[in-house]
Structure 1
């Protein structure tokens, strides 16, 4: 027994001092009505090349056989940890329940109808352990862009939708302000968070009763961390994302069939104001409104909900440098269009070319002198008869008689 004990002891000591042992990863699943896909998902997690895992499976009040599947897998592998909720708390409530039971050094999320390549976790852990930000500090968030999105069609075949971009390396809050897709393009299941950072902000939680999980949760965290790291390349794992069917996917419901997006932005803005961060982070209401409003099933209420949001945000939008002119234009249109129908007419009308006009009338009613400005052209009419046209280019100015006959040219300084 001694001869057997010594090698076993040595092996166990080596394992205890390995890098993985000191960095446990909690993988959180919120499970509801996915019995057809759950086993394949769990198999892909148990077969990860990174072994020190805690797979927190939240049975989110699922009425099908998901609970029995979890029990079967928990008997096979002690890394499966089951949390049972009596009633469904929607996706966000399930995420919160998973966070409540996570004990790892790092936290990531996986959707139970997904399947992941074996190096998905390892690639993110390697990055968060070895990469330093531009100030020499460790990162609190790694995004894995090595992902391809597939949709399962009605006949069971897979259709490739898109991958998640080519950019890699350090990203900052400024990058997100300039392009919201730097963050939102990668959903919750492509992220690895340092749990100590999450614990330092216990008031940042998913909004109970909702399916919109990345807003405002990820934006609140970003406002505090300011920098994160993105991995993308052949040396890293690919994450194969599956959607059940177009009808079963959560995204269309969140974007076009409920009021969750403006509610989430309202919650996010309140949080940023409370923590004096409102002028540091650009809330992407323009991006999401542009996506959602034209396709939303209840446009009048959606318009009113965003109008209420703009009443709160107006001063910040117009005084903060992180917001763009397109944000301010939408803010004004939502606030100052007199009613919904006026808003619709103006929102869906292309922006016209800038034109200004001035008129002089004889005796107050006879059109005499008429001037029109259209971009770099000025038209002069006398008694409604075309008289002159002045055209200014980068290097010259031309005067036309009767709007078409050039009679004078003057060179100007190039602008």
Structure 2
């Protein structure tokens, strides 16, 4: 009898109990998957609350749970990379501790692989909503739908998937990867960044022949008090990410078709970076200030200012034209603008 493929589900935990009792909520949907041949790779990222104790409680109930504790390195990319290294399954699923999936998600993803063997990634539909239950959107790979009953199978190439993320994500993927695809690029990346995973996942997409969808549901929650939403000097990392992504997209000849989308987004991120720089100015050392200022200067110098200004009209066009004319002018403006 042929053995069923092993699936690795990687979940990283950092103070998950303190943030919302996420160990219990995540385990309620993971341990009750209708597909059984799963190893649960649980990375405790240096939690200081009772996260580890909660994980150990569940591991006593289910031997499929494997707990790894590592020192917190301040960036989620390192805990994801740690789990990436430990995963031994034929297929790998990356799961956020504060999200939920249907009980049959893994089973449906694997069934889709069986039906379409050319696929390297299968994603569930993604339902994104606030913690108050307000629906933001439902996506079916590269298509927005009004409700999950509107599901229809979608398939695109890995290169199409990257192209549809230039500037903003018009491709949404949270699903099951073939092991060799998921491990083709390390989440450690080459430098620590708040959103380094956005760069890594795009490079992973490129190695996929095709990406398909299934009718399982992955519910992603937007938390207003998450580290990604709270004010932080790390917001300047997003500015740095845009610099790297622009080069990546140009290198892969994916930039020109969506240049206007990319540049307007990069401009908004640059402005938010400036605001963060001035907000935390008094809390930074001279070395940190110099480092972050260099990043902002590089971002400013690489913005396609002509393209950005062309997307405005009337007073807004004049206003942004003046602001973009000089780095020190726009920096001074956002230093004092309330």
Which runs of structure 2 are paired with 1:229-268 in the superposition (5 Å)? 229-231=212-214, 236-243=215-222, 245-247=223-225, 249-253=226-230, 258-268=235-245
Equivalent residue for 1:95?
80
DSSP-derived class of the 1:103 partner = coil
**Alpha carbons of structure 1 residues 119 and 93: separation in structure 2 relative to 1, 3 Å:** same
Residue of 125, 130, 138 corresponding to 1:145? 125
Deviation at 1:293, TM superposition (A): 4.4
Higher strand share: 1
User: If the length of structure 2 is used for normalisation, what is the TM-score?
Assistant: 0.71
Give deviations 1:58-108, integer Å, cap 9, x for gaps: 010000111111111111111101111033443111101100100011111
- RMSD (Å) for aligned C-alpha atoms: 3.9
Give deviations 1:166-217, integer Å, cap 9, x for gaps: 5251224346535648856636xx2322111234x34564466443153111
Q: 1:61, 1:89 within 8 Å by CA — same for their partners in 2?
A: no
Deviation at 1:53, TM superposition (A): 0.9
Q: 1:216, 1:268 within 8 Å by CA — same for their partners in 2?
A: yes
Deviation at 1:33, TM superposition (A): 0.8
DSSP-derived class of the 1:127 partner = helix
Equivalent residue for 1:161?
135
Q: 2:9, 2:40 within 8 Å by CA — same for their partners in 1?
A: yes
**Alpha carbons of structure 1 residues 343 and 177: separation in structure 2 relative to 1, 3 Å:** farther
Residue of 50, 53, 57 corresponding to 2:35? 50
**Alpha carbons of structure 1 residues 311 and 165: separation in structure 2 relative to 1, 3 Å:** same
DSSP-derived class of the 1:44 partner = helix
Give the whole-Å Cα distance in 2 for the aligned partners of 1:105 and 1:113. 25
DSSP-derived class of the 2:198 partner = coil
Q: 2:187, 2:197 within 8 Å by CA — same for their partners in 1?
A: no
Give deviations 1:365-388, integer Å, cap 9, x for gaps: xxxxxxxxxxxxxxxxxxxxxxxx
Counterpart check, 1:80 vs 2:65: yes
Q: Taking CA–CA contacts closer than 8 Å with sequence separation of 6 or more, which of the two structures ends up with the larger relative contact order?
A: 2
Deviation at 1:124, TM superposition (A): 2.1
DSSP-derived class of the 2:197 partner = coil
Give the whole-Å Cα distance in 2 for the aligned partners of 1:121 and 1:163. 22
Counterpart check, 1:41 vs 2:26: yes
Q: 1:255, 1:261 within 8 Å by CA — same for their partners in 2?
A: no
Give the total of aligned pairs: 295
Equivalent residue for 2:7?
25
Give deviations 1:37-73, integer Å, cap 9, x for gaps: 2112112101011211111000100001111111111
Equivalent residue for 2:203?
220
Bigger radius of gyration among the two: 1
Counterpart check, 1:66 vs 2:51: yes
Counterpart check, 1:288 vs 2:265: yes
Give the whole-Å Cα distance in 1 for the aligned partners of 2:164 and 2:72. 40
Residue of 295, 303, 323 corresponding to 1:305? 295
Q: 2:42, 2:68 within 8 Å by CA — same for their partners in 1?
A: yes
Deviation at 1:340, TM superposition (A): 3.9
Higher helix share: 2
